[in-house]
Amino acid sequence: MTKLIDASEAVSKVKSGDRIMVGGFGLIGSPLTLIDELTKREVKDLTVISNNVGEAGKGLGLLLDQGKLKKAIGSYFTSNREVAKWYNEGKLELELLPQGTFSEAIRAGGAGIGGFYTKTAVGTELASGKETKDIDGETYIFEKALKADVAFIRARKADRKGNLVFYKTARNFNPMMATAAKYVVVEVDEIVENGELSPEEIVTPHLYVDAIVKSQLILTKDGVREVG
Protein backbone atom coordinates (compact mmCIF):
# COMPACT_ATOMS: atom_id res chain seq x y z
CA MET A 1 0.00 0.00 0.00
CA THR A 2 1.35 3.39 -0.93
CA LYS A 3 1.92 6.04 1.71
CA LEU A 4 1.91 8.73 -0.96
CA ILE A 5 -1.39 10.63 -0.73
CA ASP A 6 -2.89 14.05 -1.49
CA ALA A 7 -2.90 16.79 1.12
CA SER A 8 -6.72 16.79 1.08
CA GLU A 9 -6.85 13.07 1.92
CA ALA A 10 -4.25 13.54 4.66
CA VAL A 11 -6.15 16.33 6.43
CA SER A 12 -9.43 14.40 6.21
CA LYS A 13 -8.09 12.31 9.12
CA VAL A 14 -8.40 15.32 11.45
CA LYS A 15 -11.66 15.41 13.42
CA SER A 16 -13.13 18.12 15.62
CA GLY A 17 -11.74 17.91 19.16
CA ASP A 18 -8.52 16.17 18.06
CA ARG A 19 -5.12 16.80 19.57
CA ILE A 20 -2.79 17.62 16.73
CA MET A 21 0.99 18.00 16.81
CA VAL A 22 2.47 20.41 14.29
CA GLY A 23 6.21 20.66 13.68
CA GLY A 24 8.21 23.83 13.19
CA PHE A 25 10.10 26.54 15.00
CA GLY A 26 7.84 29.37 13.92
CA LEU A 27 7.44 28.83 10.18
CA ILE A 28 10.83 27.11 9.90
CA GLY A 29 10.26 23.41 9.33
CA SER A 30 6.50 23.87 9.56
CA PRO A 31 4.18 21.73 7.37
CA LEU A 32 2.71 24.73 5.55
CA THR A 33 0.87 22.78 2.85
CA LEU A 34 -0.95 20.57 5.36
CA ILE A 35 -1.91 23.56 7.51
CA ASP A 36 -3.19 25.41 4.45
CA GLU A 37 -5.25 22.36 3.46
CA LEU A 38 -6.67 22.13 6.97
CA THR A 39 -8.00 25.69 6.68
CA LYS A 40 -10.42 24.28 4.05
CA ARG A 41 -11.87 21.66 6.42
CA GLU A 42 -14.83 22.11 8.77
CA VAL A 43 -13.15 21.14 12.03
CA LYS A 44 -13.14 22.90 15.38
CA ASP A 45 -12.04 22.62 19.01
CA LEU A 46 -8.59 21.45 18.03
CA THR A 47 -5.83 21.27 20.62
CA VAL A 48 -2.63 22.13 18.84
CA ILE A 49 0.71 20.95 20.25
CA SER A 50 3.35 23.11 18.64
CA ASN A 51 6.21 25.31 19.86
CA ASN A 52 4.39 28.41 18.58
CA VAL A 53 1.04 29.17 16.96
CA GLY A 54 2.87 30.18 13.78
CA GLU A 55 3.01 33.89 13.14
CA ALA A 56 0.17 36.39 12.77
CA GLY A 57 -1.85 35.18 9.76
CA LYS A 58 0.79 32.63 8.76
CA GLY A 59 1.21 28.91 9.36
CA LEU A 60 -0.85 27.87 12.40
CA GLY A 61 -1.88 31.52 12.72
CA LEU A 62 -4.33 30.80 9.86
CA LEU A 63 -6.16 28.17 11.95
CA LEU A 64 -6.22 30.53 14.94
CA ASP A 65 -7.79 33.27 12.80
CA GLN A 66 -10.50 30.82 11.70
CA GLY A 67 -11.40 30.01 15.30
CA LYS A 68 -10.52 26.33 14.87
CA LEU A 69 -8.29 26.16 17.93
CA LYS A 70 -9.55 25.47 21.44
CA LYS A 71 -6.18 25.12 23.11
CA ALA A 72 -2.48 25.50 22.35
CA ILE A 73 0.31 23.67 24.15
CA GLY A 74 3.78 25.07 23.47
CA SER A 75 6.66 27.20 24.74
CA TYR A 76 6.69 30.51 22.88
CA PHE A 77 3.39 31.99 21.76
CA THR A 78 4.89 35.48 21.75
CA SER A 79 5.84 35.03 18.09
CA ASN A 80 2.18 35.48 17.06
CA ARG A 81 0.79 38.70 18.57
CA GLU A 82 -2.79 37.54 17.85
CA VAL A 83 -2.48 34.75 20.43
CA ALA A 84 -2.64 37.16 23.39
CA LYS A 85 -5.86 38.67 22.03
CA TRP A 86 -7.62 35.31 21.67
CA TYR A 87 -6.34 34.23 25.07
CA ASN A 88 -7.50 37.42 26.83
CA GLU A 89 -10.95 37.16 25.24
CA GLY A 90 -11.24 33.66 26.71
CA LYS A 91 -11.40 32.07 23.24
CA LEU A 92 -8.14 30.14 23.47
CA GLU A 93 -6.65 28.10 26.32
CA LEU A 94 -2.88 28.08 26.65
CA GLU A 95 -0.55 25.61 28.32
CA LEU A 96 2.94 27.06 28.52
CA LEU A 97 5.92 24.73 28.98
CA PRO A 98 9.66 25.43 28.93
CA GLN A 99 10.95 24.51 25.48
CA GLY A 100 13.12 21.66 26.77
CA THR A 101 10.24 20.24 28.79
CA PHE A 102 7.94 20.55 25.80
CA SER A 103 10.31 18.68 23.47
CA GLU A 104 11.14 16.01 26.06
CA ALA A 105 7.43 15.46 26.80
CA ILE A 106 6.88 14.65 23.12
CA ARG A 107 9.91 12.33 23.03
CA ALA A 108 8.55 10.56 26.13
CA GLY A 109 5.08 10.33 24.60
CA GLY A 110 6.51 8.59 21.56
CA ALA A 111 8.71 6.28 23.61
CA GLY A 112 6.03 4.77 25.81
CA ILE A 113 7.06 6.76 28.88
CA GLY A 114 4.28 8.31 30.97
CA GLY A 115 6.27 11.29 32.18
CA PHE A 116 9.58 12.37 33.67
CA TYR A 117 11.20 14.47 36.38
CA THR A 118 13.12 17.59 35.38
CA LYS A 119 14.95 20.38 37.23
CA THR A 120 13.72 22.92 34.71
CA ALA A 121 11.16 25.39 36.15
CA VAL A 122 11.57 24.22 39.76
CA GLY A 123 10.67 27.13 42.05
CA THR A 124 9.04 29.16 39.28
CA GLU A 125 5.44 30.00 38.36
CA LEU A 126 5.46 27.28 35.69
CA ALA A 127 5.96 24.65 38.42
CA SER A 128 2.82 25.59 40.33
CA GLY A 129 0.61 22.58 41.01
CA LYS A 130 3.23 20.13 39.76
CA GLU A 131 4.50 17.23 41.90
CA THR A 132 8.04 17.68 43.21
CA LYS A 133 10.52 14.97 44.10
CA ASP A 134 14.00 15.06 45.64
CA ILE A 135 16.47 12.84 43.82
CA ASP A 136 20.07 12.63 45.10
CA GLY A 137 19.67 15.92 46.94
CA GLU A 138 18.17 17.92 44.08
CA THR A 139 14.57 18.96 43.53
CA TYR A 140 12.77 17.95 40.35
CA ILE A 141 9.22 18.41 39.09
CA PHE A 142 7.05 15.87 37.32
CA GLU A 143 6.04 16.54 33.73
CA LYS A 144 3.56 14.37 31.86
CA ALA A 145 4.32 13.03 28.39
CA LEU A 146 2.51 14.51 25.38
CA LYS A 147 0.72 12.43 22.74
CA ALA A 148 -1.63 13.31 19.92
CA ASP A 149 -4.24 11.92 17.55
CA VAL A 150 -2.51 13.31 14.46
CA ALA A 151 0.93 14.76 13.75
CA PHE A 152 1.70 17.02 10.79
CA ILE A 153 5.43 17.28 10.28
CA ARG A 154 7.87 18.45 7.65
CA ALA A 155 11.03 16.81 6.32
CA ARG A 156 13.41 17.52 3.45
CA LYS A 157 13.13 14.14 1.73
CA ALA A 158 11.23 10.89 2.05
CA ASP A 159 11.63 7.64 0.22
CA ARG A 160 8.45 5.76 -0.70
CA LYS A 161 8.62 3.66 2.44
CA GLY A 162 8.54 6.86 4.54
CA ASN A 163 12.14 7.05 5.72
CA LEU A 164 12.94 10.69 6.40
CA VAL A 165 15.90 13.05 6.27
CA PHE A 166 15.72 16.61 7.48
CA TYR A 167 17.29 19.94 6.53
CA LYS A 168 19.35 22.22 8.81
CA THR A 169 17.38 23.89 11.61
CA ALA A 170 14.09 22.95 9.92
CA ARG A 171 14.46 19.64 11.79
CA ASN A 172 13.54 21.05 15.24
CA PHE A 173 10.45 19.31 16.74
CA ASN A 174 9.59 17.19 13.68
CA PRO A 175 11.43 13.93 14.51
CA MET A 176 9.89 13.66 17.99
CA MET A 177 6.41 14.46 16.73
CA ALA A 178 6.76 11.66 14.18
CA THR A 179 6.86 9.24 17.11
CA ALA A 180 4.10 10.58 19.33
CA ALA A 181 0.85 10.55 17.34
CA LYS A 182 -1.53 7.83 16.20
CA TYR A 183 -1.51 9.07 12.61
CA VAL A 184 1.59 10.78 11.24
CA VAL A 185 1.64 12.74 8.00
CA VAL A 186 4.91 14.11 6.65
CA GLU A 187 5.13 16.90 4.12
CA VAL A 188 8.34 16.76 2.08
CA ASP A 189 10.11 18.78 -0.59
CA GLU A 190 11.28 15.69 -2.42
CA ILE A 191 10.22 12.06 -2.73
CA VAL A 192 12.90 9.59 -3.80
CA GLU A 193 12.89 5.90 -4.68
CA ASN A 194 13.54 3.32 -1.98
CA GLY A 195 17.25 2.72 -1.65
CA GLU A 196 18.26 6.25 -2.59
CA LEU A 197 18.64 7.34 1.02
CA SER A 198 21.64 5.95 2.83
CA PRO A 199 20.48 3.90 5.84
CA GLU A 200 23.01 5.88 7.88
CA GLU A 201 21.50 9.28 7.06
CA ILE A 202 17.89 8.40 7.89
CA VAL A 203 16.79 10.30 11.00
CA THR A 204 13.19 9.06 11.15
CA PRO A 205 12.71 5.39 10.14
CA HIS A 206 9.60 4.59 8.09
CA LEU A 207 7.71 2.77 10.83
CA TYR A 208 6.74 6.10 12.36
CA VAL A 209 5.28 7.54 9.16
CA ASP A 210 1.73 6.79 7.93
CA ALA A 211 1.41 9.14 4.99
CA ILE A 212 3.60 11.29 2.73
CA VAL A 213 2.45 14.46 1.02
CA LYS A 214 4.43 16.47 -1.52
CA SER A 215 4.89 20.03 -0.31
CA GLN A 216 3.30 22.86 -2.30
CA LEU A 217 4.41 25.71 -0.02
CA ILE A 218 7.95 26.57 1.01
CA LEU A 219 9.52 29.22 3.20
CA THR A 220 11.88 31.43 1.21
CA LYS A 221 13.84 34.60 2.03
CA ASP A 222 10.79 36.51 0.75
CA GLY A 223 8.24 34.61 2.81
CA VAL A 224 5.96 31.66 2.07
CA ARG A 225 5.80 30.81 -1.66
CA GLU A 226 4.10 28.19 -3.81
CA VAL A 227 6.43 25.61 -5.29
CA GLY A 228 7.03 26.59 -8.91
Partner 1 sequence: MGDSKELIAKRASEELGPDSIVNLGIGIPTLIPNYLDENQCELHTENGLLGVTSVEDEEVDPLRVNAGKLPVGESIGASYFHSADSFAMIRGGHVDVAILGALQVDSNGHVANWAIPGKDIIGVGGAMDLLVGAKKIIITTQHVSKDGSHKLVDECSYPITSTRVADMIITDLAVFEWKDDGYELIELMGDTELDEVREKTSFKFQLGEELQRSLSL
**Interface with partner 1, residue 128, by CB under 8 A:** no
**Interface with partner 1, residue 20, by CB under 8 A:** no
The answer to whether the beta carbons of residues 174 and 23 sit under 8 Å apart is yes
What are the backbone dihedrals phi and psi of residue 6, each rounded to the nearest 5 degrees, phi first? -80, 155
What element of type H or E holds 103? helix 99-110
**Interface with partner 1, residue 2, by CB under 8 A:** no
How many of the other CB atoms lie within 10 Å of CB of 197?
Answer: 18
**Interface with partner 1, residue 98, by CB under 8 A:** yes
Interacting residues with partner 1 between 54 and 83 (CB under 8 A): 75-79, 83
Q: Which is nearer to partner 1, 4 or 84 (CB)?
A: 84
Interacting residues with partner 1 between 140 and 169 (CB under 8 A): 166-169
- Among 18, 29, 48, 145, which residue interacts with partner 1 (rule: CB under 8 A)? 29
**Interface with partner 1, residue 33, by CB under 8 A:** no
Type of residue found at 210: D
Q: Which is nearer to partner 1, 14 or 53 (CB)?
A: 53
Q: Which is nearer to partner 1, 85 or 182 (CB)?
A: 85
Type of residue found at 83: V
**Interface with partner 1, residue 25, by CB under 8 A:** yes
Cα separation of 183 and 8, whole Å? 15
Chain center to CA of 187 = 12
Closest Cα to residue 79, out of 103, 100, 51, 104?
A: 51
**Interface with partner 1, residue 200, by CB under 8 A:** no
Taking the complex as a whole, how short is the minimal distance between the CB of residue 71 and partner 1, in angstroms? 13
Cα separation of 8 and 2, whole Å? 16
- Among 171, 184, 197, 210, which residue interacts with partner 1 (rule: CB under 8 A)? 171
Beta-ladder partners of 46: 69
Taking the complex as a whole, how short is the minimal distance between the CB of residue 44 and partner 1, in angstroms? 22
Rg from Cα positions in the chain: 18
Q: Give the interface with partner 1 as residue ranges (CB under 8 A).
A: 25-26, 28-29, 51, 75-79, 83-84, 87-88, 94, 96-101, 103-104, 106-107, 118-126, 166-176, 203, 219-221
